[in-house]
Chain A
Amino acid sequence: MNLSISDNLAASLIAAPIMLPSLAGTMALIFRRRRRIVAAGISIGSTALQVLIAVALLIRASQSDPTPYAMGDWPAPFGIVLVLDQLAAWMLLLTSVVGFAVATHAALTKLDRKGWNFHPIFQFQLLGINGAFLTGDLFNLFVFFEVLLIASYGLILHGQGARRLTSGVQYVVVNLTGSTLFLVGLGILYGVTGTLNMADMAARGAQLAQGDRGLFLAGGLVLIAVFALKAALLPLHLWLPRAYSSTAPAVAALFAIMTKVGAYSIIRTTPLIFGDVAEPILLPAALGTIVLGFAGMLAARGLRDLAAFGLIGSTGTLLVAIALFDGDGLAAALYYLPHTTIAAALLFLTVDLIVRWRGVEGDAIVPTPRFAGASLLAFLFLAGGVALAGLPPLSGFFGKLLILDAALVSPHAAWIWGVILVTSLIAVVALARAGSTVFWKHDDTPELPEDREPPRLVQALPCLFLLALLVGLTVFAGPATRYTQGTAAQVLDKPLYLRSVLGTATTPSPNAQGDAP
Chain B
Amino acid sequence: MSMEFLIATAIGALTWAGIYLSLRGRTFPVVLGVTMLSYAINLFLFAIGRLKVGAPPIFSEEAATYTDPLPQALVLTAIVISFGMSALVVVLSLRTFLETGTDQVDGEPDPAIDPLDGDRDEWIKRRNAHRIDMLGETRP
Contact = CB atoms under 8 A, between A and B. Distances in A.
Contacts of B105: 169-170, 173
Interface of B: 22, 27, 30, 34, 37-38, 41, 44-45, 48, 70-71, 74, 77-78, 81-82, 84-85, 88-89, 92-93, 95-96, 99-100, 105, 107, 110, 112-116, 120, 124, 127-139
Nearest to A166: B107
A143 B80 CA distance: 11
Query: Which of A173, A242, A366 gathers most chain B CB within 10 Å?
Result: A173
B45 A187 contact: yes
Contacts of A242: 107
Given A163-B130, A169-B92, A449-B124, A356 B78 contact: no
B89 A165 contact: no
Contacts of A366: 113-116
Given A139-B74, A157-B92, A188-B48, A360 B107 contact: no
Contact of B89 (A115, A173, A191): A173
B96 A166 contact: yes
A355 B8 CA distance: 53
Contacts of A157: 92
Contact of B134 (A146, A170, A248, A448): A248
A427 B82 CA distance: 40
Contacts of B84: 150
B128 A451 contact: yes
Contacts of B70: 190, 196
A449 B84 CA distance: 44
A511 interface: no
B97 to A, nearest CB: 9
Contacts of A304: 134
Interface stretch (A23-31, A175-183, A375-383, A405-413): A175-183
Interface in A150-190: 150, 153, 157-170, 172-173, 176-177, 179-180, 183-184, 186-188, 190
Given A160-B138, A170-B105, 10 more contacts: A162-B96, A165-B96, A169-B92, A187-B45, A242-B107, A248-B134, A302-B113, A364-B115, A364-B127, A364-B130
Interface residues of A, number: 57
Label chain B's interface by main secondary structure. helix
A363 interface: yes
B30 A173 contact: yes
A153 B88 contact: yes
A28 to B, nearest CB: 19
B25 to A, nearest CB: 12
Contact of B34 (A162, A173, A196): A173
A249 interface: yes
B81 A162 contact: no
Given A160-B136, A183-B45, A184-B41, A362 B127 contact: yes
Contacts of A73: none
A360 B128 contact: yes
Contacts of A361: 115, 127
12 contacts: A111-B136, A159-B135, A161-B136, A161-B138, A161-B139, A162-B100, A165-B95, A169-B105, A173-B30, A184-B41, A187-B45, A301-B114
Contacts of B82: 179
A246 interface: yes
A482 interface: no
A165 B96 CA distance: 5
Nearest to A183: B41
Nearest to A250: B136
B43 to A, nearest CB: 10
